Every structure is written in C-alpha cells, then in structure tokens.
A and B are shown apart, each in its own frame.
Chain A
Amino acid sequence: MTVRSRLVGWALFLVVAAGGIAFAAVLAYAVVSALKPPGEVLSVPLRWWPSQVDWHNFALPFLETPFARYYTNSVFVGVVVTLLNVLTCTLAGYSFSKFSYPGRNVAFVIVLATLMVPLEVIYVPLYSLVYDLGWVNSFAGLIVPAGTSAFGIFLMRQSIDAVPDELLEAARLDGAGVLVSLGRIVVPLVRGPMAALALFIFMMNWDSHLWPLLVASDDEHRTLPVGLAAMQANNLGAAGVPMMMAAAVLAMAPTVLLFLSLQRRFVEGVAMSAGIR
C-alpha cells in the first residue's frame, strides 16, 4: 500500500468515526439532559455538563406518573411474548423440519407468505377480532396475538434442518419419543438461533407502540411506549424536560444494554430477519 492510499484510508476512517460520534452524541445529550436542573436543559448557549448533577430527575417519573406500572407491564409482556415465541416457533420449526405429513409444505408456505403482510395492513380487523373476544384492555390482547412469528418459524426450521437425521434416528431406536428427542438432541444444538430469536422478539416487543396503543390504553395495562407517549403529551413544557429525558433513558436502557452485551447475536438476528446469511 502506498503512503498516499494509506492516508486516504485514514482520512476516510476519521470522517466515519466523527460521524459515529455525532450519532452517539444524541444519546449522550439525552443522558446529560436527564441530569440537569430544569433551568439548564434549554440554556443558550448550549452547555453540555450540568452545573450540578441532579439525580432526582430519575426518581420523578416514578413519583409523579405511573411509570413503574408501565415499566413492569413492558417487562412482563416482553418476557411472556418472548417465551411464547421461542416455544411456538421451535415446536413449529421442529415439526416442519423433521416430520412429514400431508399439508406440511403448504402450511409452511402460508406462514412465509404472512411475512409479506405487516401488522399495519391487518390491524383494523385484528382489533375488531380482539374486541369481540373481549380482550381490549387486557394482557391477553397484548400477548396472545403476538405469540408466534413467521420469521421465528423460518429461522427455527432452517436451524433444525441442520441437525443430522441420523442423530434423531439413533435416539428413536433408543426409544426416545418425539418430545424427548426435541429436548435432548435438537434444543441443545439450536440454542444459538433460539437465543437470537429471543433477543430479536424481545427487542421488537419492547419497541411495539401501535398495537399496545389500540388494545391497552388504560393505565393498568399500558406498556412503556404507550405510557411514555402519554407522559410526553402531559409534559410539553420545559419544566418537564429533565423528567421526560430520565424516563426516556430508563425506557431505552434494557434494550441498549442487551444490545451492548449481546451485540453479535443481535447483529446476526437482524441480518437473518432480512434473509441475509
């Protein structure tokens, strides 16, 4: 490599790195704004660091709004939806991959076809159905319709396809039943994809706004996105800014921390969800 090309490479890298810092600056701005006294959040000229760090802002959402309730709801719904998806998708993936029965391929194709139809297209009749079931403002309305995913079934089928049939055949000859083979042989071999699926579903669910807004608009069932949006609508003035920033930071923390600790799985999950890899 010539000196010149190396310099160009470094210059390009510096520009890209500066851009990355600018991207992250938005999040840093949220964190420092959550630590400022209300009078300093919109000070001109902009001051990055507060004159005194005001940790009290992080207590405000819990003291003045049902934030704790929203948070608990989001964790509860997120965990249950994730477990449900891992269960239904692993079972369906195992079924589509390792058994043959009439209608299997048709069912799989129909599942894949639903990938083409986002929630945004079907939520009006879906709401009407959930309304008829009496699930409006209930956890069932939040959880059950989100209990499986086409991407998850596709992912688990692909992953279980890679489990050698000979292993399952040997287990069968040893007298292992269908579910024993799944638990003893298949699951240990597809733990990676199961973890990627769990992470992906949890993060999607944590971000979910439109559906919870429709089926869980009362304070008792509101999840974080719905609750946070309602809090924002009630705190439009500058006085509420530090509390809202603290609430937003707390709302982002779980998925950002999950991402930081499981970055590779997350990246794999996103790439797989788009059909790359």
Chain B
Amino acid sequence: MIEAIRTQAHNLLENKEIDVVIGYGNGSDPTRTTPVFIRKPEEVNRLIFDPRCINSLPVYLNKRQGYPKKGWKRVGIIGKGCDIRAITQLIAENQLSRDEVYIFGVPCDGVVSHFSKWDGSLRDDNRATKCSECDVHIPNDCDFFPGERPEVDRSGPYKVSAPQVLNLFNLKTDKRFKFWEKEFERCFKCYACREVCPHCSCNICITDRTTPNWIDQAPHTKGVFGWHLTRALHLVGRCTGCGECTRACPVDIQVDLFNQRMKDVVQGSFGYKSGYSETEKPPLITYMTDDSENFIQ
C-alpha cells in the first residue's frame, strides 16, 4: 500500500504539482513514528504507514502552525479517515480550501492508543477507543487511494461515545466536579491539548489575551477549569474526535471526555456530524432566521 503512495508522491513532487508531502516516518524509538515533511522526490522512501501512525497531521494545515507561511501552494498530506475528516472540517470552516491540499487516503484498521503499548501487533487491548467507533476506516474523501476504493455506506445510525463518557456525565454535579477537580490538579497548562488540535485555529487564543484577562492564566483550580471548559465549548460541533488532546497530555488527563460528550449533544440536538461535509456549516457557527429558539431572532 505504502509503495503506491510513495510512487504517486514521487511523481507529484517531480512534476511540481505539490510542494511537500506531510506524512509519517520512523521515529527515534522503534515504538514511535514522527511527522515528516518530504520536499524532494528522492526522499519519498522515508514515508511509512502502520498502526503506530497516531498523529493527526492536519494540525500542520492549521494557519496557527505556520501554514501557509512557508510558501507552499499545494500540500500533499497522508491521511487516515479520521484525519481527512479533520481536513474536511477545516474546509467547512473556511480555514483551508480544497485545492490547497492533495490528500493521500490510506485504509486504516486503527492505531495504537499510546506508543508505549505497541509491541508489534494491533489488538483490542491496545487499539485506541476512537478506532472502535470509527466509520472511516476507508476514507470518505481523498485524491489518491492505493488500489480500488470501496464504497462505504456511512448513513447508518450514529454511534454514541464510549460508555464511560455517559457514566461520567450521569454523575451528580458535585461528584462530577470532584472528579474533574482531582484530574485537573495535575494540569499545569502546557497547552499541548490546544497545540495538537487541528481545529484550535485562533491566531491568538483567548487564554493568551490579558487585556482583559478573560481566563486566569495561572494553573490553579479556577484557571484550569476556565481553560478546559472554554476549550471544550469552543470545539462544540467542530471537534472530529481524533483524540489527540488526550494523547498529547503529558499528565494523562482525558480531556477529550468533554469533546466526546459534546459530540453526542450536537448529534442529538442538531443531527450534525462534524467532518463529513465541506459545505454544511457547524451548527454553532451559523444561524437561521427561522430558528426555533426565539432569542436569536
């Protein structure tokens, strides 16, 4: 499979149809992979794909991460189905236009949940949870696919999040608060959850604004809650559930529990699934004059 992608990437780079391929390469340890930027056709053999390829690469298509400052006109990017959903969402939010990217879709059986759990094979006990509820093992939009791309019916019923999400949100408010207070004790606001997110695209994040100081900057209870709740709310209806925020958290706080819950709420209230359509706008960044809520009229 990767051979076909390497050949295609080689041809496109040689014909200068794309300026770079953002893909996965071997990392500094046998259990890890790392994002690579391939600019020369002869470097395409560095590209790999296997269940260690956890990273969501569309983060590099985010303007905040320097794109397209580098002078790239068209970017080739290797995408698992979930990553391509993130790209679609960026396009829906006018952060990117479809002709700026060339998507190499890869069929994916799931990725490992954490690099420390990789021992050479992917099983149920080390597969990331997001992969078990995934309906884009075969990507739904790409410019190149190795081999024949089977048609997949994605109209089936929406799969709600893992049971622990619901269990947590069914707790009484004070218990739920205690749970998060305990978890957030460890947070020191390194903002890894923000930086790995393909959808955190503000040039200046609200937490970095100091006049006025909307959210306390210091990592005490109030400052940490302020940050995480704001982050969760800013991603409502936009998060595509890649789970990078939880994976990147150096103190292992499962911050994507918020996002998973919000995903269920948005689906229930608006019937909206993020990352499947380039034209349909996320419900919370649009409005209708015939909205059933009268406060908006």
Bound pair (A, B): no
The chain A residues found within 8 Å of chain B, CB to CB, are: none
- Residues of B participating in the A interface, judged by any CB pair closer than 8 Å: none
